[in-house]
Amino acid sequence: MTKAFGEGLEETTEELVTDLTKTLYEQLGNLGITTVNNVGAWDNGLARYSMSFLGGALGGGIFYGAGVVNGQYPITQADEDILFHIRNGKLNEYL
């Protein structure tokens, strides 16, 4: 879950940095330094940021899960304990 959230946040941040760079370029156009005045930096922002987050979260979760299955990320004893208590319906007791 943490890996998925982190990847989603990373992808959204990349989208934000791209929009900020486009805004800077637009401002250079407004000052007459470049010939471009509008590159649509903030067009459809909610949709683009949502899709960036969801895509990153899905990709991060899938690739992390594949790494766990392949033994790239070993499961710790604490993870085993939590899974044991969840399977036996005793998570509240564990917490």
Confidence of residue 17 (pLDDT cuts 50, 70, 90): very high
Instruction: Name every residue whose Cβ is closer than 8 Å to that of residue 68 and which is 6 or more positions away in sequence.
Output: 75
The pTM for the full model equals 0.64
| Domain edges within the chain | 2-94
Report whether pLDDT(54) > 90: yes
Q: How far is it, in rounded angstroms, from Cα 86 to Cα 65?
A: 19
Q: Among residues 44, 60, 48, which one has the least CA distance to residue 8?
A: 60
